[in-house]
Amino acid sequence: MSRICSHRRSSFVRSAPRLSPLSACLAAALGVPLGAAAQQAPAANTGVETITITATKRTETLQAVPLSVKAITGDELERRGVSSLEEALPGEPSVVFTKAGSPLTRSIAIRGVSDGAAVGLTQSTVAMYIDDIPTSVVQGNGNIDLGLFDIENVLVIRGPRSTLYGSASLGGTIKITTRNPSLKAMESYGRLGLSKTNGASDWNSEAVAGVSVPLVKDVVALGLTAYRTEQAGVIDAGALGKDVDKVVTSGARIALFAQPTPQLSVSGRLYLQDLKQDSTSVYNVGTDLQIGSKAVLEPQSDKLQAANLSITYKMPGFDIVSATSYFDKKARYVSDLTASFGPFNAAFGLPADTQWVLFGGFDSRVAAQELRLVSAEATTGLTWSAGLFWSTEKTLNYSTTPVPGLGNAFGSDTIIDRSQTALFGELGYKFGNGVAVNAGLRRTSYESDDQVNLTQFGATTVNSSVIKETPTTPHVSLSWSDTRSTYYVQASKGFRLGKTNFPLAIPPGVTFFVPPFATSDSLWTYEAGAKLSLADNRVNLNAAVYQTKWKNPQLTLASPPAVGGFTYVDSLGRLNPGASVDVQGFEIEVVARPSSNLRLSAGVGYTDSTFSQNVVGLDSTGGVTPGGTRSAGIPRVTANGSVRYDFDVAGRPANLGFNLQHVGGYQSSYTPATRRTLGDYTAMDLRFGVDIGDLTLTAFVNNLTDERPLLSSTVFGPETVSTLRPRTIGVAGTYRF
């Protein structure tokens, strides 16, 4: 769904510093003229905007942070018409957003670290935060895709940062930061959008409203953002109906921000979101967005209620930060299994038209508390931080497949009761010559008390397990900075919590063992990078190269055909001693402002994620996956680019924008008989906006060339696939008052 915001410009006036020889060579390679830049800058010199982020849980500028991180600002999201991670992340260097049939079956991977499934049984390999809420604590229940309205930024932190962000930060971390309401003056806006998608009978629509009101000027402010979007369906399901995959998302966020003294600030958030999808957005391969293999529709719903309270108090020499959070996530889904099991109705003594329909859901409630002390900012000398983290999770995951005459043919009841505590800290020193060293450590202790009841063909097996582990995750870095450049090397360890397995029914005489609990896994990433500001801050060039060693990864594996090929979780090294996933890659990103009215950006990521040796357990037919095989779901190349040109139309500010996303090809699975190449596409968006006083109007075309790549594939029964949303043309208007 597309969005629009008012036209904004940022001006920076500064004198041109003397360029280093390396900076001059890089700028020359980019074609940036340095003759004028080496002299005094003109009085009104617009450079690349300065972005402030909190990736290290300190407030720093993007170019000064010694790690590979992308900040997608709220203003950029609005200009691009982006309202979800599904729209924001594809094409981001080294990031893979795997779109499947619904928000409950989508996944995110960074830097080639993935368990190879659209949504695995394992915990995510990417830690996800909404403000200070660690949403990735919950396992196996999909990703939270909060509506990106009134957002400060979305941080994409590449590489493990478990020292600061805890479990799940294996490939990286994604952090959504929302805006505080203004303490100075009332701000409000309303937006309406209408668009049409190629092949859809109905219109897409969007309605967003926001208001920020100082309750006590300069002391307390209240903010409210509410939104409702309708995405028309594009999948036709024969007799079941046309355009059956309509999605309606409604949500609201209430924010309270108070700064009663210069030392104390309090921020409270309440998040509400309700997503309903009439049926999954999958279709039969080889058709024009048609699904003919379903006996019933497959509705999905995802409801989120969350709250966060953050308190910061500035003491002499350090800050005390408390972050308290709670979220409650409920999801419901329907999965039609008739095409897979209906052909065997006669063998079960059932009527030929008997339907096999699974009804499932999960309820997750997580409370978390983090208390940390952070030293005051300093240009030289000692820096430090120390913290305590605690969380508790209770999740009920259930499903049932009622079949007349058989009772509950397939189903499960999983009860997860998990608690986690962690001590963490970092210690660094900044020398007067720009050199800085930093070392950090996190010691986590978690206990999991789980029970899993699995029903297969009416027979129920039970697995109960209690597990305690104490992973340790260090981080070390060395960097050098001046006013124009930052260079760094670092080594970081990330880890992920373990997982209780489904108790598979092993037929008599079959020697196969499923561990009741798959223990946690971890990896090391070694990285070197540079961040350069060139040509009087008109060009920012960032680059990083890395190597990851993921020893004995915790993966979603397939049991042998004699056991039915059902999936389970295990450490790869149990069946394959010494096995690892090895990843090498790089990211390069450039942002340029050749003139005050032209902004260019581009980024590319290369990821080579492969298995170190021959392994068993990945191929559902029982075959051997050769060493050197690429990780499923991971393309080698991801890239993006954008151009924005600001100009006047009849004396009114206007802008023209172009965005490009490229995702290389990747494999759907490790089973040769059903493996398919997915991805391998380039999509483009266009938009034109004009300001008429306080009203901004925008016309846009998303997926300009109507690309239809295959993005996911499911072969349980007849193969179904998903694709990009077809070409969408629309208009939107925002009024600020």
pLDDT digits (tens, 9 = 90+) for 282-329: 999 989 999 998 999 999 999 999 999 999 999 999 999 999 999 899
pLDDT given for residue 544 in this prediction: 98
Distance CA 372, CA 386 (A): 5
Res 686 pLDDT > 60: yes
Q: What is the pLDDT of residues 393-449, one digit of tens each?
A: 999 989 999 999 889 998 989 898 999 999 999 999 999 999 999 999 999 999 989
Mean pLDDT is lowest, of 450-459, 590-599, 633-642, for 450-459
Q: Of 100, 271, 260, 292, whose CA–CA distance to 177 is shortest?
A: 271
Mean pLDDT is lowest, of 134-148, 166-180, 381-395, for 134-148
299 CA to centre of own chain? 23
**What is the dihedral angle through the alpha carbons of 110, 114, 118, 124, rounded to the nearest 10 degrees?**
-80
Distance CA 30, CA 33 (A): 9
Residue 34: pLDDT band (50, 70, 90) is very low
> What DSSP state is assigned to residue 346?
T
Q: Does domain 21-178+196-736 have CATH number 3.30.70.360?
A: no
pLDDT given for residue 8 in this prediction: 37
pLDDT given for residue 27 in this prediction: 39
Res 44 pLDDT > 50: no
pLDDT given for residue 32 in this prediction: 39
Q: What is the pLDDT of residues 203-258, one digit of tens each?
A: 999 999 999 999 999 999 999 999 999 999 999 999 999 999 999 999 999 999 99
Res 35 pLDDT > 50: no
Distance CA 9, CA 195 (A): 27
Res 356 pLDDT > 50: yes
Res 141 pLDDT > 80: no
Only one residue has tokens 């190597």, namely: 547
Residue 33: pLDDT band (50, 70, 90) is very low
Tokens of 715: 């072969």
Q: For residue 4, give every residue at least 6 positions away whose Cβ sits within 8 Å of its Cβ, in sequence order, or none.
A: 78, 81, 191, 193, 689, 696, 697, 698, 700, 732, 733, 734
Q: How many residues does the chain have?
A: 737
Average pLDDT over residues 682-698: 96
pLDDT given for residue 13 in this prediction: 32
Residue 14: pLDDT band (50, 70, 90) is very low
pLDDT given for residue 165 in this prediction: 94
Pairing of strands 485-496, 472-481: antiparallel
Residue 18: pLDDT band (50, 70, 90) is very low
60 forms beta bridges with 53
pLDDT given for residue 82 in this prediction: 87
Residue 551: pLDDT band (50, 70, 90) is very high
Mean pLDDT is lowest, of 38-52, 140-154, 416-430, 484-498, for 38-52
pLDDT given for residue 37 in this prediction: 34
pLDDT given for residue 628 in this prediction: 96
pLDDT given for residue 142 in this prediction: 54
Dmax over CA atoms of the chain, in Å, equals 88
pLDDT given for residue 139 in this prediction: 53
Tokens of 152: 């400060």
pLDDT given for residue 160 in this prediction: 96
pLDDT given for residue 30 in this prediction: 37
Percentage of residues in the chain with pLDDT exceeding 90? 71
Average pLDDT over residues 17-29: 38
Q: Give the burial string for 517-527 (b: 16+ CB within 10 Å, else e).
A: bbbbbbbbbeb
Average pLDDT over residues 121-128: 87
H or E stretch at 72: strand 69-73
Q: For residue 10, give every residue at least 6 positions away whose Cβ sits within 8 Å of its Cβ, in sequence order, or none.
A: 46, 49
Q: What is the pLDDT of residues 67-124, one digit of tens each?
A: 999 999 998 988 888 889 989 999 999 999 888 888 778 889 999 999 875 555 788 8
pLDDT given for residue 138 in this prediction: 62
Mean pLDDT for all residues in the chain: 89
